[in-house]
Amino acid sequence: MTLRPARLRVSDQLRLGGVGLRARPLRAFLSALGIAIGIAAMTAVVGISSSSRAELDRALDALGTNMLTVAPGDTMFGGDATLPDEALTMIERIGPVTSATATGSVGTRVYRNDRIPEGETGGLALLAARLDLLETVGAGLAHGSWLNAATDDYPVVVLGATAAQRLGDVPTIWIDGRAYTVAGVLEKVPLAPELNSAVLVGWPAAESYLDFDGHPTTVYTRAVPAKVEAVRAVLAATANPESPDEVQVSRPSDALAAQRATDRAFTALLLGLGAVALLVGGIGVANTMVISVLERRAEIGLRRSLGATRGQIRTQFVTESLLLSLLGGLSGVLGGAAVTAVHAGTQGWPAVVPLWALAGGPAATLVIGAAAGLYPAVRAARSAPTEALSAA
Last residue of a domain, one of 212, 235, 253: 253
Co-location of 124 and 23 in the same domain: no
Domain of 100, in residue numbers? 67-253
Rg (CA), the chain: 35
pLDDT at 127: 96
pLDDT at 202: 96
Helix axes 355-381, 310-347, angle to 10 degrees: 150
- Angle of helix 355-381 relative to helix 25-62, nearest 10 degrees, comes to 150
DSSP 122-163: TT-EEEEE-TTHHHHHT--EEEE----TTTTTSSEEEE-HHH
Q: Which helix (H) or strand (E) holds 259?
A: helix 254-295
Distance linking the first and last C-alpha atoms of the chain: 32
Gap between the Cα atoms of 346 and 254, Å rounded: 31
Could you tell me if residue 175 is inside a domain? Answer: yes
253, 279, 302 - which closes a domain: 253
In a domain, 3, yes or no: no
Q: Are residues 24 and 136 in the same domain?
A: no
Same domain, 32 and 90: no
Confidence (pLDDT) at 385: 65
Residues 138 and 228 reside in one and the same domain: yes
Q: Is 65 exposed, middle or buried (0-12, 13-18, 19+ CB in 10 A)?
A: buried
Check whether residue 214 and residue 121 sit in a common domain: yes
The per-residue pLDDT for 157 is: 96
Total domains in the chain come to: 2
> How many other C-beta atoms are found inside a 10 Å radius of the C-beta of residue 26?
7
- In this structure, is residue 5 part of a structural domain? no
Q: Provide the pLDDT for residue 352.
A: 87
pTM higher than the cut 0.75 = no
User: 3-state class of 243 per DSSP?
Assistant: coil
247 and 262 share a domain? no
Residue 2 lies in a domain: no
pLDDT tens string, the chain, 392 residues long: the values are: 555 656 667 776 677 667 767 777 777 787 778 778 878 877 887 888 788 878 877 776 666 678 889 999 877 665 678 899 899 999 999 999 999 999 999 988 898 887 877 766 667 899 999 999 999 988 999 999 999 998 999 999 999 999 999 988 899 999 988 999 999 999 998 888 899 999 999 999 999 999 898 899 999 999 887 788 899 899 999 999 988 998 999 876 555 556 566 667 677 776 777 677 667 666 766 676 667 666 666 677 777 777 777 777 777 777 877 888 888 888 888 998 999 999 999 988 889 888 877 887 788 778 777 777 777 667 766 766 665 555 55
* 287 shares its domain with 372: yes
Model pLDDT, residue 363: 82
**Of 19, 23, 33, 25, nearest to 316 (Cα)?**
19
Please tell me whether residues 176 and 280 are part of one structural domain: no
Both 362 and 323 in one domain: the answer is yes
Q: Does the residue 322 lie in any domain?
A: yes
Classify residue 1: in a domain, yes or no. Answer: no
For residue 214, CA distances in Å to 29, 84, 86, 101, 305 come to: 72, 9, 10, 13, 93
Out of 253, 274, 292, a domain closes at 253
Is there a single domain that holds both residue 211 and residue 324?
no
